[in-house]
Structure 1
Amino acid sequence: MSAEPPSTGEPVYGGAVTKVEPFGVDHIPDGERHGKPASQFFVWFAANLNFPIMLLGFSATTLGLGFGAAVTAIGTGALVGALLMAVMSRMGVRLGVPQQIQARGPLGFFGNFIPVAYINVFAGIGWAAVTVILGTKALTELVPVPFWLGALVLTAVQLVVAVYGYNMIHFLERVLAIVLLVLFAVTTAVAITRGAGVFDARPAAPGYIGPVGGWITLAGLFFSFLVAWAPFASDYSRYLPDSRRNTRLTAVFTGLGNFVTVFWLGVVGALVAGSTSTSDSIAALHQLTGPFAAPALLAVTISALSQNFLNVYGGAISVQTLRIPVNRKQAVTIICALAYAISLWGATGTEAKFEVFLNLTAYFITPFAAVLLLDYHLGKRSDRRRINELYDRNRVLEWGFLAWGAGVLCSVPFWHSAAYTGAFATAHPEWGNIAYYVGAAAAALVYLATYRLPPLWPLLTRRPAREDESGEHPARPAGIGTDTGTSPDR
């Protein structure tokens, strides 16, 4: 075992931007806590200033909705999703651990593996690929470079930043928030000036399922976009000092950062879609902005970075949560390599693939988020004295895993996707896509019925609860579990 660092009172990592983050999925000790709640606004504002949200706005015309109905649907979905993100982000301030590690509380140490493997690793890689595709498409419209080269450049930048980690991401997101605000403001003004405008309901639209079903489906798309961030929400707030004021303000700034951008760009996307003759989103943006296309395409390209810094970093944390014997640098490299390969495969038909991917992740994430929220509040997971439980391998499986599984299974008949449409959704398309809400409700009911029961699967033969396999950890606090994996550069 390595010796503890000298007690100098100085943090090992602190607020250093150019130092590689030494922590992986460990609890962040109080001596390393730093930053201000306002940082959460910039992180989520920049991360959501990206073209996929405009892409979702295109769905309004496909569903045949009028402009007024589209705006209220976008606003409702964005508001509910932003509130969810606000609540989950404040959990990081309190507990000082990533969201995926928090899930070990209600699901169990190994019960958490399945949802994390699918929800977080799959989603992290998938989102990184989708964003690289859209960013590279914009880049190739802007400058004459082959797709594979543009995608490689974007992926390489994301890899380097994600390796440096938390502080570097926060620093760059603050810078990109300002840059992207200007670029997307110009894009919005140009698009409206050059013809983007309101539109009427169109029952002849290819995706028309009625005004109610269409409204529910569009609201669900924007809700699901923010739900996809939920498993990573605490990852970017866990270094903030734990206080009631910081917890409260973190929720406020997180909610605002998510809502403002998602609502704004969603409405702009709907306006653009209602005024173009092409179904290719990037080409539509280029067509509408005409001679002013450069700032619009530049905004899309840069926004691929602001979003993927979080996707890649969060995905790497997920890989480590699964106890795969790699360090964070290696995990980041693996995720970037897979995302790059997928981006080359998925460069065509992006819009359809994006919606399928969005749905199939949200169906699994919504019940996951419901279980985490209930466990934090009703299961008293907010008690910092219970943090050691999150690193206790003796807690193999907990009832929350069954609640999550029940939520997913109950939602299947309601799935509404090009990949699979459930029996209820097939019989009643006019209801729209309500699978998210069914899954969350089912998971909540099962959790409420079981959370007071004895542990579902504890080990009969006890072993040391705290993990410390590498023997290397900076500033390990006494009495708090760690999860350092097998490599010393975590």
Structure 2
Amino acid sequence: MAEGRRDENQDNGRVLVDSVGRIENFGVDFIPEEQRRSKPTNIFYILFGGSMTFGIIVIGWIPVSIGLGWWGSITSIIVGSAIGATLLAPMSLFGIRTGTNNPVASGAHFGAMGRLIGSILGILACIVFAALSVWAAGDVLAGSATRIFGGSEATLTLKLVAYTAVAIVMTIISVLGHANMVAMTKYMIPSAGVLMVIALFVLWPNFDASYAGGDYLLGSFWPTWFLGAISCAATIQSYGPYVGDWTRHISREKYKDKQLMMVTWIGGFFGMGGAFAFGAYTAVSFNNPTAPYVSEFVAAVPFWFLFPLLYIALVPGTAQAVINIYSMGLDFSAIVTSLSRVQSTVILAAVSTVLVYLGAFYEHLEVLVSSFLGILVIMGAPWVIINVIAFVNRKGYYYPDHLQVFNRGEIGGRYWFKNGLNIQATLAWLAAVISGSFFINTGWYVGLGAKLFEGADIGLVVSMLVGAVVYIVLLYVMPEPKDAFGPQGARFKSSSITGHEPIRKKGPVRKLNTITSEKTNISS
């Protein structure tokens, strides 16, 4: 690894506070190498421990709820999880090189302003998954409590109280920050993990591997199967914009890329994919596999297991919500720079909770979630692919100080490109999203291309291919400035233009060929 000298003003002498019981004091600020204390195994703990919650488990019920049988559901989960984990793994490399989260790091490819695309994608994904976590945890909490005290069905008032209790706990831990989130997810594996294994045996007498499914949501098997796989792939790859939240705390000098990618892939495929499989397994054990998952789960287990169920609902459910709310706070503070990470976290935690309250009155949540995931995947997957290709083109070499200009209220730098926007990456992403939208089938919306394939949702494949092809072509037709790359240059092609806009407070813009003095931290 080649390193340039670090700008003494880059961290302003601040010392990172990141320990259990204390509030993390950094947002998307650059974290100096010597202050990074995390390890790759913590990525494993977050993806495994954070997935042992009904907010993630319920994704595995979606293939069953839309009409697939056991074997159709489990195969769609395996394929979807493999795709999602493969998209997620390389995104773990950005944080360790740039010292910031992935949306901010994407500024090297989309531009210092264009990186807002990643921040917005991250917020959208996190809001929905945080709300889903609170909803699932609150419903199990309310349903179990009702059955324990002899009731038949949880009242809406009790559910709202349960949602509020979960939301308060998740907000407190999210505000505390990274170290507290890691500590919480570490605790989930030996505690919630054991209870989930016990649940497999508890429900085994009712498990039916020959369950053939119900009416296909999209009319026939393969289109419905693809929708189930897409739901799983979208869930895992949606972590792409914010896996850097965790890897920015990991030392580049101590750990290798292969270690980071391997741990991330395993956590995505086995951690999250395992939770999906648990969801499908339990669903086909219910009297009505397509009925609302949480209420059926509560009704299916014996009375004594309601107490472990309360634990799974509250503690792991809160852990997953914490992961999402923490990331939302970082992304929102990177957009509204006047707000701190703590302030942003509290605001968006409240937004997610309000969405849960609204969802309490909505009877078709599974359709809404699967539809959202279908749309999210054609927006998020090409963003991930473009960033990975750009990473290869940059040879993994970045200038962290130049990534922070927007956060500091400045303009200019190596990644300013054209008014803060990289035209090549942005056009490729737009082309991918537009193309993919013609090939998705959410049940509510069927694209023209999807109709040609008998309703099969191939938006993921189309958006990824279009994004990759268009971006690579544009990199050759419209090469990026030489200053966007490290000393070894571009892997594909770069223009002969040297020099870049100086980093400065907003004001008159100089020509691109203005030569500036270098004062940045360089990572490779």
Q: Same fold (TM over 0.5)?
A: yes
Cα deviation, residue 63, structure 1 = 4.5
Give distance in 2, aligned partners of 1:254 and 1:86. 5
Alignment deviations for residues 322-374 of structure 1 (CA, whole Å, 9 cap, x no partner)? 14421111100110111111110012332222222222222211111111111
Residues 4 and 370 (structure 1), Cα distance of their counterparts in 2 relative to 1, 3 Å cut: closer
Cα deviation, residue 222, structure 1 = 0.9
Question: Alignment partner of 1:70: what SS?
Answer: helix
Letter in 1 for 2:64: T
Question: Alignment partner of 1:170: what SS?
Answer: helix
Given the alignment, which residue of 48, 51, 55 partners 1:48?
Answer: 51
Given the alignment, which residue of 229, 232, 252 partners 2:242?
Answer: 232
Residues 159 and 56 (structure 1), Cα distance of their counterparts in 2 relative to 1, 3 Å cut: closer
Residues 143 and 63 (structure 1), Cα distance of their counterparts in 2 relative to 1, 3 Å cut: closer
Letter in 2 for 1:103: S
Question: Alignment partner of 1:464: what SS?
Answer: strand
CA contact (8 A) 2:174 2:181 kept: yes
Normalising by structure 1, report the TM-score: 0.86
The corresponding residue for 1:289 is 301
Within 5 A, what are the aligned runs for 1:376-415?
376-380=391-395, 382-384=396-398, 386-392=399-405, 393-394=411-412, 395=416, 396-398=420-422, 399-415=424-440
Letter in 2 for 1:340: T
Cα deviation, residue 141, structure 1 = 1.0
Structure 1: 5+ residue stretches without partners: 468-477, 482-490
Alignment deviations for residues 158-214 of structure 1 (CA, whole Å, 9 cap, x no partner)? 111111111111111111232221221222221223x02213445x61425434333
The corresponding residue for 2:503 is 464
CA contact (8 A) 1:94 1:247 kept: no
The corresponding residue for 1:488 is none
Give distance in 1, aligned partners of 2:275 and 2:434. 33
Normalising by structure 2, report the TM-score: 0.81
Give distance in 1, aligned partners of 2:349 and 2:267. 26
CA contact (8 A) 2:109 2:387 kept: yes
- The reply on whether 1:128 has 2:138 as its aligned counterpart is no
Residues 93 and 71 (structure 1), Cα distance of their counterparts in 2 relative to 1, 3 Å cut: same
Letter in 2 for 1:108: G
Within 5 A, what are the aligned runs for 1:256-295?
256-278=266-288, 279-291=291-303, 292-295=305-308
The corresponding residue for 1:472 is none
Within 5 A, what are the aligned runs for 1:316-465?
316-347=329-360, 348-349=362-363, 350-380=365-395, 382-384=396-398, 386-392=399-405, 393-394=411-412, 395=416, 396-398=420-422, 399-430=424-455, 432-452=456-476, 453-454=478-479, 462=501, 464-465=503-504
Give distance in 1, aligned partners of 2:337 and 2:233. 31
Residues 127 and 214 (structure 1), Cα distance of their counterparts in 2 relative to 1, 3 Å cut: same
Residues 62 and 257 (structure 1), Cα distance of their counterparts in 2 relative to 1, 3 Å cut: same
Cα deviation, residue 76, structure 1 = 1.5
CA contact (8 A) 1:84 1:230 kept: yes
The corresponding residue for 1:179 is 191
Letter in 2 for 1:188: L
Cα deviation, residue 454, structure 1 = 4.8
CA contact (8 A) 1:106 1:400 kept: yes
CA contact (8 A) 1:47 1:173 kept: yes
The corresponding residue for 2:63 is 60
The corresponding residue for 2:520 is 479
Residues 295 and 424 (structure 1), Cα distance of their counterparts in 2 relative to 1, 3 Å cut: same
Q: What is the RMSD of the two structures over their aligned residues, measured on CA atoms?
A: 2.8
Higher CA-based Rg: 2
Letter in 2 for 1:374: I
Cα deviation, residue 49, structure 1 = 1.7
Letter in 2 for 1:435: G
Give distance in 2, aligned partners of 1:217 and 1:206. 11
Aligned identity (percent) is 20
Q: Name which of structure 1's ranges 388-397 and 29-38 shifts more when overlaid on structure 2.
A: 388-397
Alignment deviations for residues 209-233 of structure 1 (CA, whole Å, 9 cap, x no partner)? 4343333222221111101111111
Cα deviation, residue 35, structure 1 = 2.3
Give distance in 2, aligned partners of 1:256 and 1:93. 18
Alignment deviations for residues 236-258 of structure 1 (CA, whole Å, 9 cap, x no partner)? 11111113744322222222222
Given the alignment, which residue of 73, 78, 83 partners 1:75?
Answer: 78
Higher relative contact order (CA 8 A, sep 6+): 1
CA contact (8 A) 1:60 1:70 kept: yes
Question: Alignment partner of 2:248: what SS?
Answer: coil
Structure 2: 5+ residue stretches without partners: 1-7, 147-156, 406-410, 482-496, 507-518
CA contact (8 A) 2:107 2:115 kept: yes
Question: Alignment partner of 1:17: what SS?
Answer: coil
Give distance in 2, aligned partners of 1:4 and 1:109. 17
Letter in 2 for 1:371: I
